[in-house]
Structure formats: structure tokens, C-alpha cells
A and B are shown apart, each in its own frame.
Chain A
């Protein structure tokens, strides 16, 4: 049986751990609120952009003059996967889940004979992918130094991706990130960026027929590259919200676990102490009786 001193030490150390996880949880909670607000605030732009592109692109899909960002290069041999994860750990299965999806995707693509390149956004994703797919990683972008992700950061990635596309480095680009559903549920999602996926042309409720200035193709050529950045920005924001949500849950669990461990250890400590006292008493009494 452990000595009283070592038990006391363990209780003290678990208590310290609980304090840390508790603090982490509260930090995550306040950051989470901010991240959620940012994600909400960015929504109108992305939605409007999506709506306009959808309504424009619907009629132009098969037009040979349409930009390659919409039509694609006509091949699907080389894929670029943008794996967006967090820069920090301690957020439960958040990063692992994203990486798992990425891995699945990589295996699937390589199995069907396609070439894969990986662009890592976030340090954790790179760390986890490096060992297995090191040579496939073209670059890593980290945001450790940045407090709040702004649109500029997304633009940097967007420009990089577009440059690679223009140089003909890949045919299809997909971004893998975690869609934020709720604090306890983030869904790893793969979303195609290039060529731009066109949803069903929504029937406009207001039934307006728009004039275009300049014409549709030129507007599209202007909007599609922007849209890449917007989509990346959207993914990054969802990721940040998800990261802190996951961190809150993970740290909450850790705090509770630490509490349980403390209770258990305290029980053992008290029992041991009592047993020792009883033992000493027995020794004294039997000693007295022997006289």
C-alpha cells in the first residue's frame, strides 16, 4: 500500500492538473464565443457570393468560354488536398478526426491511380500526416503567431492555391476541414474548391431578371478566384469555432475526471490513515495487556 506521503503528493498534483484544465476550459469558452461571432458575421458575404455564383454559373456550365475555375481542366488526375487543422492540441479528437478523413481520401485517390499533393494549414495536421505522407506535402501554413484569423490570411492561402492552379500543378482542389455543428459535434468535411461545384440553380423567390455589367463570363472570371478565398476563409472560421468547442468539451471532461480521481485518492488516503491509527492503537493496547 502506498505511503501517506506519496498519496498526499498525488492528490496535490491532481488538484494542480484540475486547476489547469479548468482554466483552459474557461479560456476556450471565451475564445469560442468570439470565434462563433466571427463565423456568424462572415456568413452573409459567403452566402451572397454563393447565390450569385450559382445563378450565374448555372447557365454557363457548358459554355466553352467559361473560366477554367468553373469548368475544370477537363481532367481529374492530380488532386490537391488542403488539410485545415488547428495549430494546437488539447482539443480531444478534433485534429485526429480531420486527419483521419484526409487519410481516407488520400488512400482512396492513390488507390484509383491519382496523384495527390497536400497543403497543410495548421501545425497539428502536418505533424500527423508527415510520417506517412511526408513527400506529398507541398507546404504548411501556420497561424500560431496570429491571434485572430482575418480574411487576409485566407487570401494568402487562396492566392497560393490559385497560383498553383495557374501553373497547372493540379486539376482538382479539395479542402478538408471540420464543419461546426455544435459544441459537442464537429463533422470533418471534404469540400471541393476547384472546379467550383455548382449546386442546383435555386429558383429565385423574387423572380428578378438581372442585367449583368460587364457580361456574365467576365463577372464569373472575377468572382471565382475571390470565391476560392472566401470558401477557405469560411472553412478556417468554422475550424476555429470547432477547435474551441472541442477544447471546451475536452477540458470539461478532463476537469471532471480529475475531480473523480481526487475523490478516489482522498478515500484511499483516509482509509490508509485510519488503518494506521487502528494499527498503532492495537499495538499500544496489546503492549499494555502483556504487562
Chain B
């Protein structure tokens, strides 16, 4: 049995998760990092991607996160994500539907700002889809 690391997942609105886990994989800007107890102290920014929790209190869990940063100390890992969605809550069919409507919005967009907005939504939904 390995030592566990305390893992906090925090969004601007609330503390989403606080538990102990054996290993957490975090999508850092410069590559994914598997964090276990005794990791060296590190602060890194995050890119869009999936946080993979192994051996947590509630078993294995996956979260899709967008932007934010991570602070690692030997016995504690804190992820501050701007948005975080449990992958288990995502539904492939519903997402495909949203991708479709986002693509339509993009093709119908008239002004630059509208187009940028539609593109943003599309990227967001596509990101969610890719997490599955």
C-alpha cells in the first residue's frame, strides 16, 4: 500500500472534491503529470484536459477541467480549475447534439464577434467530447 496524497479540486464557485488518492494525473501545460505522495513542490498552469484520480476515497474518478493551475507539495495537491465537470456526468449523444448545433451556429454567424463566440462554444463542446 502506497502513501496517499491529499487532493483538493477547487472551482471558483466551490470546493468540488477533497479526498485522498494514490495517484492523480494532471494535464499540465507542458505535459501530463502523474502526481503521487512525495512529489517535489511545483506550481504549474493547466490546459484543457482530464484529471484522472486513481485510488481515491470514492474509487477512480475522472474530471474534465478547463484552465487554471495546480499547486503540488509533497503531501498535498491542489487543483484550481476555472471549470470542472465529472466525466461520468457527460453524455456522448447529448454532446454530439451540442457539437452539431455549435457547428450550425458557426456557419450562420454573421459578425466577427458572433463567429468568435460560436467558435469558442464549439471548441468547448469538442473538448468535452474528446474526454470520453
- The chain A residues found within 8 Å of chain B, CB to CB, are 38, 41-42, 44-46, 48-49, 52, 56, 150-151, 154, 206, 208-214, 218-219, 222-223, 226, 229-230, 233
Chain A residues whose C-beta falls within 8 Å of the C-beta of B15 in the assembled complex:
41, 44
Check if B10 sits within 8 Å of A44, measured CB to CB. Answer: yes
Q: State A150–B80 Cα separation when bound (angstroms).
A: 16
Q: State A233–B14 Cα separation when bound (angstroms).
A: 12
Main SS class of interface, B: strand
Contact with A along B66-77 (1 / 0, CB 8 A): 011101010000
CB interface residues, B 2-55, toward A, < 8 Å: 8, 10-15, 28-30, 40-45
Check if A42 sits within 8 Å of B13, measured CB to CB. Answer: yes
Main SS class of interface, A: helix
Contact (A214, B43) CB under 8 Å given A151-B82, A223-B69: no
Check if B10 sits within 8 Å of A209, measured CB to CB. Answer: no
Chain A residues whose C-beta falls within 8 Å of the C-beta of B29 in the assembled complex:
213-214
Contact (A42, B41) CB under 8 Å given A214-B29, A214-B30, A223-B69: no
B78 an interface residue at 8 Å Cβ cutoff? yes
Check if A48 sits within 8 Å of B78, measured CB to CB. Answer: yes
Q: State A223–B10 Cα separation when bound (angstroms).
A: 15
Q: State A111–B68 Cα separation when bound (angstroms).
A: 41
Contact (A219, B69) CB under 8 Å given A211-B42, A212-B44, A226-B82: yes
Contact (A150, B45) CB under 8 Å given A45-B80, A222-B69: no
Check if A222 sits within 8 Å of B14, measured CB to CB. Answer: no
Q: State A46–B82 Cα separation when bound (angstroms).
A: 11
Q: State A56–B73 Cα separation when bound (angstroms).
A: 16
Q: State A38–B45 Cα separation when bound (angstroms).
A: 26
* Identity of the chain B residue whose Cβ is nearest the Cβ of A208 in the assembled complex: B41
Check if B12 sits within 8 Å of A210, measured CB to CB. Answer: no
Chain B residues whose C-beta falls within 8 Å of the C-beta of A214 in the assembled complex:
29-30, 44-45
Q: State A170–B102 Cα separation when bound (angstroms).
A: 35
Q: State A219–B13 Cα separation when bound (angstroms).
A: 22
Check if B42 sits within 8 Å of A210, measured CB to CB. Answer: yes
Cross-chain contact of B41 among A45, A48, A52, A209 (Cβ < 8 A): A209
**In the complex, what's the smallest C-beta–C-beta distance from B24 to chain A, in angstroms?**
16
Chain A residues whose C-beta falls within 8 Å of the C-beta of B78 in the assembled complex:
48
Q: List 6 A-B contacts (CB under 8 A).
A: A45-B11, A48-B10, A208-B41, A211-B41, A222-B45, A223-B45
